[in-house]
Amino acid sequence: MPEVHELQFDWVHVHYDETQSFTETYGFAGNQGAVNLEGILIRPVGVPSKTLQIYMHPASTLQLLPVPREAAKRGAHVLCAGSRYARNDTACILENVLLDLGAYIKHAKSVWGYTRVVLVGWSGGGSLSLFYQSQAEQPTITHTPAGDPVDLTKAGLIPADAVIFQAAHSSRAKLLLDIIDPSVIDELDPDNRDPTLDLYAGSFKAPYPAEFIERYRAAQLVRVRRITAWVKETLERLKSAGGAERERGFVTHRTLADPRFLDATLDPNDRPIGRCYLGVPETVNSGPVGLARFSTLRAWLSQWSIDDTNAEGIANAACISAPLLLIENTADDAVPQYHCRSVFEAAASSDKRHVIIEGATHYYVGQPEHLDQATKITEDWLSQRDLLGR
């Protein structure tokens, strides 16, 4: 049995100067000429390390999750880093999140004295980690998809020494495309729907015919692009008006209708059918906490537009050289099965490994044996590359 350590939790505050042209976050996070970030540094008592594992999600805080805590119990130094958009992705600009992650890495090296950093991209942090590493290794971006300046070529982003992609999707935009409800005809009236595309209308039974799935997927893309066109038209109208209005928020209704959650023959694995990580799919589809439910115009282009986002993991994986470990859970009820494989196939790193954990769910809740297996896989992989830091 591995040695288990008592944990020490320290609140972390990192801040850096950055002036936004208008307020995009509520409160003190980033509207006073500086960005203020909060995180939790988790360390095993009495166990030194020169390596820091950083867990970061664009809009969630991860210190309560089993994965980072288990890593720390086994001897790792772990930072659960919150972005400026922590717990609210309404206005999230992923290019800005890279600046936030870069600030944490600089702080870890210059203030705390860590010599090596490993990005552990769990869930939504997977595509974020690939996005960061690609821009740290080969920076190209000077503007957000909305055209606002954010010069990552001059940001001095420090590359991580390795990247772990765990229970992760290839991008927020690709995930939304997989699950958005294509039956919505009028974005202002979610009850105005095409019954021939309404997965929950009662007339459809799994397994679904191939021709239906093909038409369904095509209609999902049409809907996403329709919203994107409206977003761009609205941004241009605000700009052309010449007034002080710069941004606008909006609601996207019905965003969880992936046939995979109802049909076990589609990308088959061990996921439960009739449920997903947020609950009953039909309930979540029209509920208040759906993916991309609330968004600003700029955030839509950065996060959710499949044609505009810079954060697509497949493209970014093709641009990195750092060692890359990909961990896929076969009972994952959040991430479609093909995402991990597609990122692995695209990855340019000469040192890459794809590991599948049979029966593991997205969060490993109630699965101590799978959590132990995932942690050991990570430990062994890092040890083989002299990245445990002990």
Question: 66 burial class (0-12, 13-18, 19+ CB within 10 angstroms)?
Answer: middle
Residues with pLDDT less than 50, the chain: none
Cβ 131 vs Cβ 98: under 8 Å: yes
For every residue of 97-143, DSSP letters joined together read HHHHHHHHHHHHHHTS--SEEEEEEETHHHHHHHHHHHHHHS----B
Q: Measured on CA atoms in the order 104, 108, 112, 118, is the torsion positive or negative?
A: positive
Give the C-alpha separation, 234 to 28, whole Å.
28
- Give the model's pLDDT for residue 109: 98
- Give the model's pLDDT for residue 202: 77
Using alpha carbons, select from 387, 335, 352, 370 the residue that is nearest to residue 122: 335
3-state secondary structure of 36: strand
Give the C-alpha separation, 94 to 127, whole Å.
10
Query: What are residue 54's DSSP bridge partners?
Result: 79, 119
- Give the model's pLDDT for residue 170: 98
Q: State the amino acid at position 13 in one-letter form.
A: H
Q: Measured on CA atoms in the order 235, 153, 165, 37, is the torsion positive or negative?
A: negative
Give the C-alpha separation, 249 to 137, whole Å.
34
Give the domains, in start order, of the chain with CATH numbers. Answer: 7-171+309-384 (3.40.50.1820), 179-304 (no CATH)
Using alpha carbons, select from 141, 162, 166, 134 the residue that is nearest to residue 346: 134
3-state secondary structure of 178: helix
The two beta strands, 162-166 and 116-122, are: parallel
Query: What are residue 55's DSSP bridge partners?
Result: 80, 120
Cβ 170 vs Cβ 178: under 8 Å: no
Using alpha carbons, select from 106, 119, 135 the residue that is nearest to residue 62: 119
- CA terminus-to-terminus distance, the chain: 19
Cβ 140 vs Cβ 131: under 8 Å: no
- Give the model's pLDDT for residue 5: 94
Q: For a pLDDT cut of 70, what percent of the chain falls above it? A: 97
- Mean pLDDT across the chain, nearest whole number? 95
